[in-house]
Amino acid sequence: MSRSIRLRADLARTFGRRLAGAWRAAARTARLAIGIPDYDAYLAHVRERHPSRPPMDREAFFRDRMLARYGRRGTRCC
């Protein structure tokens, strides 16, 4: 394989990784903007900060976040 072909292949892989990372960051930002909690961030947090505590499964996590956001009636003035 010639050097220029290897360089182009390396550039394509680098671009692909950067594009995938930018897409993940944009998706995470969009979810935060509309109020959808990030389960992967939650898992990373539990692993790092609470290693002895088992994390909630995905369904329990979303149920907990929705209850935290909408389930406490009477605590807000509006």
**pLDDT tens per residue, range 40-60:** 889 999 999 999 999 999 999
Return the amino acid letter for 11.
L
Q: Which residue has the higher pLDDT, 39 or 70?
A: 39
Are the CB atoms for 38 and 32 separated by under 8 Å? Answer: yes
The mean pLDDT value of the chain amounts to: 86
- Give, rounded to a whole angstrom, the gap between the first and last alpha carbons of the chain: 68
Residues of the chain with pLDDT > 70: what percent? Answer: 90
**Domain-wise residue ranges, the chain:** 1-34, 37-78
- Evaluate if residue 15 carries a pLDDT over 60: yes
Largest CA distance in the chain: 70
> What is the Cα–Cα distance from 76 to 78, expressed in whole angstroms?
6
| pTM for this model (two decimals) | 0.55
Q: What is the mean pLDDT of residues 68-74?
A: 74
